[in-house]
Amino acid sequence: MERIAILRMGEVLLVTIQVEMSDELAMRLQDDLSQAIERTHAKGVLIDISALEVVDSFIGRMIADISGVAGILDAVTVLVGMQPAVAITLVELGLSLPGVATALNVERGMELLRGGLGREEHHELPAR
Amino acid sequence: MAAEESLIALLERQRGKILAQWLGELASRTGGSAKARIAADLLARQANEFFSEFMHALATGSHADIGGDEWKAVRTFLEQLSTERVLAGFSSEETAIFIFSLKRGLFDAVSSDKGRSATKVAQDLWSITELLDKLGLHTVRAFQRSREEVIDRQQTEMLELSTPVVKLWDGILALPLIGTLDSARTQIVMESLLQRIVETESQIAIIDITGVPTVDTLVAQHLLKAVTALRLMGAECIVSGVRPQIAQTIVHLGVDLQGITTKANLADALALALKRTGVKLGN
C-alpha cells in the first residue's frame, strides 16, 4: 500500500506530496501524521503540495482537516507550494482554508515556522 | 398576342443596359464618401460577377426561396462582399445599397418591354422586388455578423492586453487593473498574476484598482476571490488605488472586504510592501 513519507527535521515534520492524491491516501496521511506528531512531539508541520496538480473538494477538505488536527495536537501547519490552478480550483469550490498558514515554497515555509515557533516560546516563557 | 419572353431571357438580353444603370445608380446613391473608398473598376467587377451569379441562380433555382442550394453561390458572394465592406469601414446602409440599387435597372428592363402584358409586368416586378429584398436582408445580416466577429475579436484582444503584471521590487508584484472587472476577466487576471507569483517567487502582490470605474458587490467578490487564491499560494495581497467615491460605495453596499489590506494609492501600498519584505530605503 502506498504511503506518503513523513520526514522529521528537528521540531518540524516535513510532508511532501509527490504522487496524485487519492481519497484513501489522504485519509491515511491524516492518520499517520497525527500519530507522528504525537510520537515526535513536533511543534510544526510543513506540507509541500507543489507537485499536486489536481484537487477536488474532498482533498481540499482533507488538507484543511489535517491542519486542524495538527493544530489541536499543538503543531502549527504551513501549506507550501500550491499551484495556481489548484488555488483557483479551491477558491471556486469555496474552500478558502481559513486558519491554514501558507507560504510560497519550502524555504519560506521553514522561515515562517521557525519565526512562529520562536515567537511562541518567547511568549510562553515568562508565563511559566 | 406574341409569346411572352421569360423573365430570365429578358434580363439576359438587357444585361448591358441593366448593369450600366445599376452602376450609375450606385455611384449617385452612395455619394462621395463611399466612392472615394472603393474603386470604380472594382465596383464594376463586383457588379458584373454578382449579376452572373444572380442570373445563374435565377435560371436554376426558385424565385421565392433564396435559402436553397441554387442560391448558395449568390449568398457566399454577398457574405464575402459584406465582410470586405466591414473591414473597409462601410456602414450597413452603404453595403445594402449595393443590392437595392439594382432594382431600378431590373424594373426599367421589365416595364419597358413592349411584348409584355400588364399582368405579366406586375408579376415579374413583384418577384424581382421580393427577391432583391431577401438578398438585401441577407447582405445586412451577413454585414452584422461580420461586424460582431470584429467586436468579439477586439474584446479578446483587449482582455489579453489589459492584464500586465509588473515587478516593482524583488518579491513585489503589481497588477494595475484598468476597466470593468467581470468573471471572464477576473479569471484571466487571476491566472496571470498567480503564474507570475510562482515564476518570480514574490510574496506580495499589489492590485491597483485606480482604473476600475466602479466597484459593486460582484467586483468586490471577484477581488476577494483573487485575494483568497493568492493567500492559498502563500502570497500576501494589498489592494491599492481605492478612490473616495469607491470607498463610499463599498461601505454603502455593505461589502465586507474582510482581511484585505487596502491603501489609497500605489505609493502607500509599495511602502507597506517594502516594509513587510524587510527592505529599508536610505533617505
Contact call for residues B219 and B181 (beta carbons, < 8 A): yes
Q: Which residues of B touch A91 (CB under 8 A)?
A: 225, 228-229, 232
Q: Which residue in A97, A105, A108 is closest to B232 by CB distance?
A: A97
Half-sphere exposure for B272 (CA within 13 Å, toward CB): 18
E strands, chain A, where? 6-9, 12-16, 44-48, 76-80, 101-103
Find, among B174, B199, B195, the residue nearest to B272 by Cα. B174
With a cut of 50, say whether residue B2 has pLDDT above it.
Answer: no
DSSP B88: H
Taking an 8 Å cut-off on Cβ atoms, the answer to whether A82 and B190 are in contact is: no
pLDDT grade for A118, boundaries at 50, 70 and 90: low
Find, among A28, A11, A19, the residue nearest to A78 by Cα. A11
Q: Which residue in A87, A108, A109 is closest to B232 by CB distance?
A: A87
Taking an 8 Å cut-off on Cβ atoms, the answer to whether B198 and A84 are in contact is: yes
Find, among B176, B266, B182, B239, the residue nearest to B216 by Cα. B182
Query: Backbone phi, then psi, for B141, in 5-degree steps?
Result: -60, -45
Q: Is A12 on the interface with B (CB under 8 A)?
A: no
Contact call for residues B207 and B175 (beta carbons, < 8 A): yes
With a cut of 50, say whether residue A123 has pLDDT above it.
Answer: no
Q: Which residues of A touch B260 (CB under 8 A)?
A: none
B260 CB neighbour count, 10 Å cutoff: 17
Q: Which positions 53-72 of B are in contact with A (Cβ < 8 Å)?
A: none
With a cut of 80, say whether residue B159 has pLDDT above it.
Answer: no
Instruction: Choose between A67 and B162: higher pLDDT.
Output: A67
- Per-chain mean pLDDT for chain B: 84
Question: Is the pTM here over 0.90, yes or no?
Answer: no
Q: Which residues of B touch A84 (CB under 8 A)?
A: 190-191, 194-195, 197-198, 229, 233
Nearest chain B CA: its distance from A90 CA (Å):
8
Taking an 8 Å cut-off on Cβ atoms, the answer to whether A84 and B232 are in contact is: no
pLDDT in tens, B118-134: 888 888 888 888 888 88
Say yes or no: ipTM exceeds 0.85. Answer: no
Most confident of A68-72, B120-124, B162-166, B202-206: B202-206
Q: Which residue in B190, B198, B231 is closest to A88 by CB distance?
A: B190
pLDDT grade for A121, boundaries at 50, 70 and 90: very low
pLDDT grade for A1, boundaries at 50, 70 and 90: low
**SS3 sequence of B152-217:** HHHHHHHHHHCCCCEEEECCEEEEEEECCCCHHHHHHHHHHHHHHHHHHCCCEEEEEEEECCCCCH
Q: Which residues of B touch A80 (CB under 8 A)?
A: 234
pLDDT grade for B267, boundaries at 50, 70 and 90: very high
pLDDT in tens, B201-217: 899 999 998 888 888 88
Q: Which residue in A82, A92, A96 is closest to B233 by CB distance?
A: A82
Q: Is A103 on the interface with B (CB under 8 A)?
A: yes
Q: Which residues of B touch A109 (CB under 8 A)?
A: 234
| Cα of B170 vs its chain's centroid, Å | 41
pLDDT grade for B270, boundaries at 50, 70 and 90: very high
Instruction: Choose between A88 and A126: higher pLDDT.
Output: A88
Q: Of the given ranges (A64-73, B94-103, B181-190), which has the lowest mean pLDDT? A: B181-190
Q: Is A46 on the interface with B (CB under 8 A)?
A: no
With a cut of 90, say whether residue B269 has pLDDT above it.
Answer: yes
pLDDT in tens, B20-52: 888 888 777 766 555 556 677 788 888 888 888
With a cut of 60, say whether residue A76 has pLDDT above it.
Answer: yes
Q: Are strands A12-16 and A6-9 parallel, antiparallel or unpaired?
A: antiparallel
Contact call for residues B50 and B74 (beta carbons, < 8 A): yes
Nearest CA in chain B to A84: B194
What share of chain B in percent tops pLDDT 70? Answer: 93
- Per-chain mean pLDDT for chain A: 84
pLDDT grade for A117, boundaries at 50, 70 and 90: low
Q: Which residues of B touch A103 (CB under 8 A)?
A: 234
Nearest CA in chain A to B223: A91
Q: Is B170 on the interface with A (CB under 8 A)?
A: no
